[in-house]
Amino acid sequence: MKNLAIFDLDNTLINTDSDHSWPQYLMKKGVVDIAYTQAQNDKFYRDYQQGCLNIDEFLKFHLAPLSRFSQAELAQMHREFTAEFIEPHISDMAKQLVASHREAGDELLVISSTNEFIITPICHLFGIHHIIGTQLETDAQGNYTGNYIGTPSLKEGKITRLNEWLAARGETLASYGKTYFYSDSKNDLPLLCLVDEPVAVNPDEVLQAEALAKGWAILHFR
C-alpha cells in the first residue's frame, strides 16, 4: 500500500515565506505603494506567526495586485520572483527529503495556506505536482479577479482541503499505508495531529514544545 507524504511549503521545504516575499518583490519592482505594502505585509506576517491571522483581510490585501496583470505578465514576474526570492532559500536537505519519499514510491502532496499562483511553480522545482493552495477566482479571460474561492487552506482548512482532494480521487487517509506531514508552524497542529508521522521542520516555539512533548521527529533545514 502506497504512503502519502504531505509537505507544508513556507519555512518547511523552503527556508523563507513566499507569501511574505511576494509583496517584497512587488515593492522592489515599483508596482505597489511601498509604505502601505510594507506596513501591511509585516503586520499580517506577525499575525500569522502569532496564530491570529485574519485570513479574509490578508487575502484581500495580498490578492489585489494580481488583478492588475495578465497571466502572461504574472508568469514572467513569477520567474523573476522565484530566481531572486525563492531559489536561494532551497536547501539540499529539503531536496533530499522529497527525493527520499519519491524513491520510496510515496505519493507527494504540498498543502499550503499560500495561494496557488505563488506556490505552484515553486512546488514544481521539487518535482511535486499534487498541490493544494488557496484557490483564486478568475474572470472570463482567465485573469485573476483579486478574490479567492473555496476554503482557504489555513489551520483546520488544511484538513478540509485535504479531504476534498482525497474525495476527488475516491480515497481517504485510510487508503494509504502511512501518512506523513512536515511543517514548521503551530498553525498546522490540526493536520499534524491527524497523520501517522508528524514531523516538525524548522519549528516555531509552540510547535517545538509540542513536538518534544509528543515525541515527534524534529528536523532543521538550513
Domain boundaries, the chain: 4-14+91-219, 18-88
At residue 211, does pLDDT exceed 90?
yes
- On whether the CB atoms of residues 105 and 113 are closer than 8 A, the answer is no
Per-residue confidence band for 222, with pLDDT thresholds at 50, 70 and 90? confident
CA atoms within 13 A of residue 56's CA, in its CB half-sphere: 1
pLDDT for residue 217: 98
| CA 138 centroid distance within chain | 20
- On whether the CB atoms of residues 112 and 132 are closer than 8 A, the answer is yes
10 part of the active site: yes
Active-site residue, from 10, 19, 184, 204? 10
Which strands form 179-183's sheet, in the order they lie side by side? Answer: 144-149, 131-138, 107-115, 4-7, 179-183, 197-201, 217-219
DSSP 202: S
The fraction of the chain above a pLDDT of 90, given in percent, is: 98
- How many Cβ atoms from other residues are within 10 Å of residue 20's Cβ? 19
- On whether the CB atoms of residues 101 and 108 are closer than 8 A, the answer is yes
8 part of the active site: yes
Query: Which architecture does CATH list for 18-88?
Result: Up-down Bundle (1.20)
Q: Which CATH number fits domain 4-14+91-219: 3.40.50.1000, 3.40.50.300, 3.40.50.11780, 1.20.210.10?
A: 3.40.50.1000
pLDDT for residue 72: 96
pLDDT for residue 11: 97
Residue in 201, 204, 159 with CA at minimum distance from that of residue 186: 204
Tell me the mean pLDDT in the region 45-71.
94
pTM above 0.85, yes or no: yes
